[in-house]
A and B are shown apart, each in its own frame.
Chain A
Amino acid sequence: MTQQLEIDELRNKSTRHLWMHNRDWITMAEEGEPMIAVEGEGVRIIDADGRSYIDVNGGYNSVNVGYGRQEIADAAYEQMTQLSYFPYGTTTEPTALLARKLAQMTPGSLSRVFPVSGGSEANETALKIALAYHRRRGDSRRYKVISRIGSYHGTTAGVLWLGGTQETQRDDFEPARPGMVYAPPPSAYHSPVSGETDSECAVRCAQAIEDLIKFEGPETVAAVIAEPVAIPLGAVVPGDEYWPMLRDICDRYGVLLIADEVINGFGRTGRMFAVEHWGVVPDIMSVAKGVISSYLPMAATIATEEVAGVFAGEEDYLRHVLTASGHPVSAAASLKNIEIIESEGMVENSAAVGAYCKEQLEAMMGDHPSIGDVRGLGLLMAIELVKDRETKAPFDPSDRVADRLNESFKKNGLILRVGGPIIHVGPPLCITKEEVDEIVHAIDLSLWELEGDLGMAQYA
């Protein structure tokens, strides 16, 4: 009883003083929210009321090694007891060794690491490097950045205007950053061309980027930024032609190619970095989340030798400072995290269990007419829900699909994000096939309920 009062008091303080991500404190107070998480182990968390859930999104697709790895806590602790921060103009052993490790792990000549503390900061830093790179080379008219509709690259002002969907609702923050140019998403499922294959879609969408560069004028375009597998539209895996073509096009017009591996990186798609699927080396790569499995804030922007080279001289340094950049405690935790990913074969597990999970989800399509498409790579997957599979007609807002599913998933023991018509699946990479079976079973139950409630004809 006392404990329940304490929990209620905590919830009260939360709705009174805390501004949570995309949540409304009035509704939460009415509904006895928010859930307060108190413990975590592997893919599971326990809340203050003692209930256990599988966190199917592993935080924000970010707890790659899973919850509860004491080794990372120990590494961070040991570093903090030695040195918690660094004086201006100096650095520390874990920061330097992490930079070397990232340079070794990343493809090709990616070799110079600017550590920051979040994915938005990493992409902001990538764009600043790209703009400054062109200016140093006497190409100072290049300032435009091409991103794709349906992508997400962050929330601070330099990256907020990249990508986006109709649901992004950025009008609160107008006017936009200058120089934003938008290309179509390489998603055959969402293509305006009916019956388009992944390959056809990939070629069309890469060609669209070349057309944009020519239309805007190559001398005005600084960079193209893209996630190898895009998340907001639901784990969109482009056809195999896409990334090699992007690389060719960027080379042809002197445009820098930025790969946003904030979610994709560190095993999420079954390779250490997702661009490895297509053998492409970007000029700049941004990483976050999985670099430290979210045990502490850490992210990084990594540039090739060719790009970094223009900033090497005494007068040529990049003008950019962030207090938490290169934090030794985060770096020590990150090194241990990467060691766990490598030594426990988590990248391979992501590929194997991801493929198994995708098969199971695809098998459910026979039972559930509400599933329009299942797609993804490794443990980055999505289920797209539709009212009619043939016409791909979406549900009506009045169907409240996301609300119904969120409630029903919770009841069935899952914390699982439904954004618009898409169920996003991205569990910790330590997940087992048995745990996948649990998740699939719970999704199955929830979809039966949904389809029943909405009176959809069910395949028996």
Chain B
Amino acid sequence: MGWLSMPDNTTTTISRGPEARQAALDHLWMHNRSWATDAESGRPPIITSGNGVHVTDAEGREWMDVNGGYMCVNIGYGRHELADAMREQMSKLVYFPQGTTTEPLIELASKLSDITPGNLDRSWPVTGGSEANETAIKIARAYHRRRGEAGRYKIISRVGSYHGALGATMWLGGDGGREDYEPAFPGMLYAPQPDSYNSPIPGETDSEAAVRCAQAIEDLIKFHGPSSVAAVIAEPVSSSMGAAVPGDEYWPLLRQICDRYGVILIADEVITGFGRTGTMFALEHWNITPDIMTMAKGITSSYVPLANAIVTDEVADVFAGSDNIFKQALTFGGHPVTAAVALKNIEIMETEGLVDNSAEIGAHILGRLNDLAAEHPMIGNVRGRGLLIGVELVADRDTKTRFPKDVQLGNRLSDAFEAESLILRCGDDRIGIGPSLCITETEADELVNRLDRAITKVERGLPS
């Protein structure tokens, strides 16, 4: 355990890097990685420190982390204030006995009520985005049952959206690749994604796509019968679909449709919340209050695990009273140490204007990427809001044909990004960009310049 207290960071990293890598290859199950392949390629990289948008690995090489972890390190790496807040709470009280609560958690619930839209007022804290969405679905189903509408159990999500990896949420949205886990959770219904660029209708505008896709949700509700539908869940801007921003009609229409049929509207702000899109919560762009909102990632900038489902007074009210208790417990739900870190994180976001910075620098990057599109034919579309940005990759801009799989464009680009010291993994069809919200204009320019060089290099090496 000596590595924790070694004073000289440089010697620590050089001596411990290989050992940590071997331990990882032998014993760690990493996300969507093959340890056999990683062993051959000298992976995984062992990261040892971080500052702002940059991290340093065990060999001393500095990288720009283009997605700030999993679009989650919103305030950036290396903020000691959060470590101080954590240690202070941990030194007083690390956990809480059953049936009790703690001051930081109460203050956090109160703060979240203040900063979320409308009458979103009551928080069920959990530890990750998947758990938050699982909780939201359980609340939605129990809400209807308490009101005598036990038949409402189906959940509508959109193809291509992502809401988590657990028993119910892994079947929401999606883009294939989950046959491993069949049979699916009962009651999953799928609506189209409001993304005009990838629309089946040529020349469709954002507005037209928004109206068509909202209408599709109403049609699904009517087809299946409103008395069987519990909730609609959607991310305001879907990062898994490359940050397609829906036309302005979409969210107001969803709100109306859900109201009309008594369906609960769940906004998944796990990625979009806490400044990612240039407002504190993305639904503020359309002045919509959902019935349930979920949040994670940016709530602590992932300094420690914390997430939350917050509901309106109307939803919470059906669970008030000693006979109406919502039956759920999670050991780490409402952890006082994570709450203390979240409070400090939100304070930093607010006092340093990181939400405004997200809007400004995001617009700057969007502008620069649109300039790049003129020079790089493989850039089919650039879209996004704030610092949630997507680049669509095409072999032919007019037909929007994607690159054939055997070109392995994603691997080529990822390798070229690595050569530019960017940590940025991408697939064959799109690049996702979501840096920490503290990114400066200079760093943003540096990011775009490196992307430019990497894409140029890949273009030259493509088979003609």
User: Are chains A and B native binding partners rather than an unrelated pairing?
Assistant: yes
Q: List residues of A whose CB falls within 8 A of some B CB.
A: 10, 13-14, 16-27, 34-40, 45, 47-48, 53, 55, 57, 59-60, 62-63, 67-70, 72-97, 99-100, 102-103, 111-115, 117-121, 124, 127-128, 131-132, 135-136, 140, 143, 155-160, 168-179, 288-289, 293-297, 301, 303, 308, 311-327, 329-330, 332, 335-336, 339, 406, 415, 417
Q: Which residue of B lies closest to A419 (CB)?
A: B98
User: What does DSSP make chain A's interface, helix, strand, loop or mixed?
Assistant: mixed
B186: chain A residues at CB < 8 Å are: 175-176, 178
Of the candidates A85, A322, A335, the one having the most CB atoms from chain B within 10 angstroms of its own CB is A85
Report the nearest A residue to B144, measured CB to CB: A172
Chain B, residues 153-171, CB within 8 Å of chain A (1/0): the string is: 1000000000001111100
With a cutoff of 8 Å between Cβ atoms, the chain B residues found around residue A288 in the complex are: 331
A109 to B13 Cα, complex, angstroms: 30
The answer to whether A118 and B330 touch across the interface, beta carbons within 8 angstroms, is yes
User: B346 on the interface (CB 8 Å rule)?
Assistant: no
Q: Other than A60-B98, A62-B331, give 12 A-B pairs with Cβ distance below 8 A.
A: A18-B105, A72-B94, A85-B50, A88-B67, A88-B423, A90-B46, A91-B46, A124-B165, A289-B331, A297-B304, A323-B302, A336-B1
Q: Which one, A72, A114, A160, contacts B90 given CB within 8 A?
A: A72
Q: Per a CB cutoff under 8 Å, which of A23, A103, A160, A296 touches B99?
A: A23
CB-contact partner of A84 in B24, B50, B182, B185, under 8 A: B50
Q: A83-B49, A92-B46, A143-B183 are in contact. Are A294 and B331 (CB under 8 A)?
A: yes
Given known A89-B45, A96-B20, A121-B131, contact A21–B334 (CB-CB < 8 A): yes
A-B contact pairs, 7 of them (CB 8 A): A17-B110, A19-B319, A37-B93, A84-B301, A85-B303, A172-B326, A321-B70
Report the bound CA distance from A25 to B92 in whole Å.
Answer: 26
The reply to whether B97 and A53 contact each other, CB–CB distance below 8 Å, is yes
Q: How many residues of chain B get a CB closer than 8 Å to chain A's CBs?
A: 136
Pair B122/A85 contact, Cβ less than 8 Å: no
Q: Which of A34, A96, A157 contacts B134 (CB 8 A)?
A: A157
Given A20-B101, A37-B101, the answer on whether A321 and B32 have CB atoms closer than 8 Å is yes
Q: Which residues of B contact A (CB under 8 A)?
A: 1, 3-5, 9, 16-17, 19-21, 23-24, 26-37, 43-50, 55, 57-58, 63, 65, 67, 69-70, 72-73, 77-80, 82-84, 86-87, 90-103, 105-107, 109-110, 112-113, 121-125, 127-131, 134, 137-138, 141-142, 145-146, 150, 153, 165-169, 177-183, 185-187, 296-297, 301-306, 311, 316, 319-322, 324-335, 337-338, 423, 425
Assembly CA distance A53 to B100 (angstroms): 12
A331 to B394, CA, bound (A): 41
A82 to B82, CA, bound (A): 12
Find out whether the CB atom of A319 lies under 8 angstroms from the CB atom of B180.
yes
- Bound complex: CA A99 to CA B35 (Å): 14
Bound form: Cα–Cα A112–B93 in Å: 33
From the candidates B31, B97, B182, name the one contacting A143 in the complex (CB within 8 A): B182
